[in-house]
Amino acid sequence: MTLLSELAPGSQAFVTDVQARTASDPVAVRLRDLGFVPGEPVKLVAYGPFGADPMLVQVGFTRFALRRSEAERVRVSSEEPSHV
């Protein structure tokens, strides 16, 4: 189990879950709305120029700029889940 923020550039993985930091973590809720849901393929595309932050992440057909702290909420696995 790795975090999305730990992926190597260009590597592909699948979302396992999004961890909420508080009971009603708005960032976690929004991440799920945007498509970070179990089984969804994600790819780390690029880093920002300063301190490799933010990160450019592809989920589904869409690319998002996520700060490290946001990407750390998403747990990923390199293996495609069998049941989706």
Partner 1 sequence: MSEATLAVLPRSIALVGNPNCGKTALFNQLTGSRQKVANYAGVTVERKEGRLVLPSGRKLRVLDLPGAYSLNATSPDEAVTRDVCLGQHPEETQPDLLLCVADATNLRLHLRFVLELKRLGRPMVLALNMVDAAKRRGIRIDREKLEQALGFPVVETVAVRRRGAADLISALDEHALTMPAVPPASAEQDLHAETRRLIASAVSMPQPTSPMDEAIDRWVLHPVWGLAILAATMLLVFQAVYAWAGPFQDAIETSLGWAGTQLAAHMPDGLLRSLLVEGVIAGTGGVLVFLPQILILFFFILVLEESGYLPRAAFLLDRFMVSTGLSGRAFIPLLSSFACAVPGIMATRSIPDPRDRLLTILVAPLMTCSARLPVYALLIGAFIPDQRVFGLFNLQGLTLFALYAAGIVSAMLVALVARRFGRRAGEQALLLEIPAWRIPNPRDVALGLRERGAIFLRRVGTIILALSVLLWFLSSFPTPPADWTRPAIEYSFAGHIGRAMEVLFAPIGFNWQICVALIPGLAAREVAVSGLAAVYAVSAGEAGVEHALATALGSQWSLATALSLLAWYVFAPQCLATLAVIRRETGSLKATLGATALLTGMAYAVALIVYRLTGLLT
SS (H, E, C) 5-36: HHCCCCCEEEEEEECCCCCCCHHHHHHHHCCC
Nearer to partner 1, 19 or 65 (CB): 65
Query: Which uninterrupted H or E stretch holds 13?
Result: strand 12-18
For residue 61, the minimal CB distance to partner 1 (Å) is 5
Q: Can you give the binding site for partner 1, defined by CB under 8 A? A: 21, 26-27, 29-35, 37-38, 40, 45-51, 53-54, 56, 58, 60-67, 69-70, 84
Our CB check for partner 1 shows the closer of 51 and 79 to be 51
Q: Which CB sits closer to partner 1, 1 or 84?
A: 84
| Per-residue tokens: 46 | 């690029």
